[in-house]
Amino acid sequence: MDAQISAAFDQFYELITPPRWKAQEGLACARTISNYMRNSRQEVASYSFKQFRLIGSYARATAIREFSDVDVMFEFQSLTALDFLASRPLLAGIRDLLEQSTDSAIQISEMQEVVQVEYPGGLRLDILPAVRNDSQSYLIPDGRNGWRVTAPDVQKCYFSGRDAVSMIHLPEFTRGLKYWNAARGGLVRSYHLESIVAQLGPHLGDNYAIATRKAFERLSRTVKIMDPVGCQGELSVYLSTAQCEAIAALCRASAAESLVALKAQASGDCERALTAWASVYGPRFPSKSLG
């Protein structure tokens, strides 16, 4: 890859990477919440709080600046089998408890899966309640008042393994595609997109520019993929036919513009290539030569 194009990709990935203190700030806020839960005499929907941990894109190093919330799993214990319990009372209990302890904006997410906390400084914290299922997995709200299985440690191991057998730095490349997705309305959920990119990883080669076109060509054909760790089944089920068609159209357009960029690179027209890559990825991608 041309040195100037390579430098532009490097700068792009740096620009969309959240500062390190963001996750630390999120964990500090989570620690304050956990201390309040432990010290409060009020029960959280008959559950006892145990511990919390960082999960999601910040834990997998795929978070993107301005768009990614800090996801924290709060583990609870219930003396009653979850077969007889709904998940929404636990979400409501967390929300109600937090409303008493902070002036921040608190709400249950539209998908009824997490409790969202937005702090005055702009930090967004997503609290995912969970109950231990077995040694490797947890039960979390499924959005329909029931539960589904997740296994964050297995997920992290899978993604790390795919990165290890890929020639490009997969978390970095994933951040770029997640920024592309977010800038276009975020139709594809984060874990879903990460899973597709991880599946492609070993086949993408060592050139970020060529890998970009390969990824968009794959996404333009289908966004269907089974959960690589076997917990959630088919990951695209939340998308309507119209949404799948919209994603395919966006990917075809980006694949075509990627080809324009690659041809410009091959002909030595660096400025044209940079303009095309900026058209593909969005305003954070450097559209001018870095000198």
The residue type found at 120 is P
Structure-token pair, residue 137: 């997995």
Looking at the domain assignment, is residue 94 inside a domain?
A: yes
pLDDT at 39 (0 to 100): 87
Q: Which of 92, 116, 150 is the last residue of a domain?
A: 150
In eight-state DSSP terms, residue 44 is B
Strands 70-77 and 124-132: parallel
Q: Which of 105, 130, 150 is the last residue of a domain?
A: 150
Range of the domain at 102: 20-150
Structure-token pair, residue 53: 């941990």
Q: CA–CA separation, 284 vs 271, rounded Å?
A: 16
Structure-token pair, residue 114: 């997490």
Structure-token pair, residue 159: 């993604």
Looking at the domain assignment, is residue 286 inside a domain?
A: no
Count of alpha carbons within 13 angstroms of residue 200, beta-carbon side: 30
Structure-token pair, residue 171: 């978390």
Decide: residue 160, CB within 10 A, 0-12 exposed, 13-18 middle, 19+ buried: middle
Looking at the domain assignment, is residue 234 inside a domain?
A: yes
Q: Report the phi/psi class of residue 112: left, alpha or beta, with left for phi > 0 and alpha for psi in -120 to 50.
A: left
pTM recorded for the entire structure: 0.92
CATH code: domain of residue 53: 3.30.460.90
pLDDT at 103 (0 to 100): 81
In eight-state DSSP terms, residue 203 is G
**Cβ proximity of 146 and 221 under 8 Å:** no
pLDDT at 290 (0 to 100): 59
Looking at the domain assignment, is residue 81 inside a domain?
A: yes
Walk along the chain (291 residues) and give the pLDDT tens digit of each residue. 688 999 999 999 999 999 999 999 999 999 999 999 988 877 787 888 999 999 999 999 999 998 999 999 999 988 677 666 889 999 999 999 999 887 889 999 999 999 999 998 889 999 999 999 988 999 999 999 999 999 999 999 999 999 999 999 999 999 999 999 999 999 999 999 999 999 999 999 999 999 999 999 999 999 999 999 999 999 999 999 999 999 999 999 999 999 999 999 999 999 999 999 999 999 899 987 655
In eight-state DSSP terms, residue 95 is H
Q: Which of 150, 178, 199 is the last residue of a domain?
A: 150
Looking at the domain assignment, is residue 288 inside a domain?
A: no
Alpha carbon 51 to its chain centroid, in Å, reads 22
Q: Is the dihedral of CA 27, 86, 94, 99 positive or negative?
A: positive
Q: CA–CA separation, 169 vs 201, rounded Å?
A: 9
pLDDT at 83 (0 to 100): 66
Cα dihedral 186→189→192→196 (10° resolution) = 10
pLDDT digits (tens, 9 = 90+) for 13-60: 999 999 999 999 999 999 999 999 988 877 787 888 999 999 999 999
Structure-token pair, residue 217: 């060509």
60 and 12 within one domain: no
83 and 57 within one domain: yes
- Give phi and psi for 241, each to the nearest 5: -60, -40
